[in-house]
Amino acid sequence: MFVSKEALPVIKKVCIIGPECTGKSELSRFLAAHYSTCWVEEYARAYLDKLGHPYQESDLVKIAHGQLRMEDEWLREANKILYCDTNLLTIKIWSEYKYGQCDAEILRRIAERTYELYLLCNIDIPWVADPQREHPDKREHFWNIYKNEVINTGVPFVEISGDWNARQQKAIAAVDKL
């Protein structure tokens, strides 16, 4: 049976984004449970775990493909809202920082994707060491970059800061407005 695109439910996408070690995954997991839906994990973590050597610039396009593929797959399973633990803006930021440029395909894919809301996680929580985290001394630097990137998307955003309870409440209030 053919189902028209108009008959499919509209799923709103909320991207949880911010510098390293700002609680994005924990908040994504929490929101998905709170709203009885699913969330897209950060593909880069699994990719880098399997890579076996430091990533190269060419790996970033592969990571972007994996992130988008996961987002598309979970979109079909979502219940009204899909939470994305990061998106391609993170890949853009890291690519420009580490390599001084970003692949044109990644930039094109960023322009093609839409989100209804960004939850921008602040750096006001303690750093937790992790083998994949690279710059504990540059948190404020990256915070400013992320904030500018999110502002430049033109998508509504809410800064998520404070202790865990405050973060949860700010996120819920922002999502409820959708």
Q: Which residue(s) pair with 38 in the sheet?
A: 82
Q: List, edge to edge, every strand of the sheet that includes 12-17.
A: 38-40, 81-85, 12-17, 117-121, 157-160
| Largest pairwise CA distance in the chain | 56
- Percentage of the chain beyond pLDDT 70 is 90
4 has a pLDDT exceeding 50: no
Taking the model in full, what pTM does it have?
0.91
Domain residue ranges of the chain, discontinuous segments joined by +: 5-176
| pLDDT value of residue 1 | 44
The pLDDT confidence band at residue 7, using thresholds 50, 70 and 90, is low
State both tokens at 19: 């510098």
Taking only the tens place, the pLDDT of each residue in 70-116 is 999 999 999 999 999 999 999 999 999 999 999 999 999 999 999 99
- Burial string for 42-71 (b: 16+ CB within 10 Å, else e) reads bbbeebbeeeeeebeeebbbebbeebbebb
Name the CATH topology of 5-176.
Rossmann fold (3.40.50)
Instruction: Give the count of beta carbons closer than 10 Å to the beta carbon of residue 21.
Output: 18
* Residue 129 predicted with pLDDT over 80: no
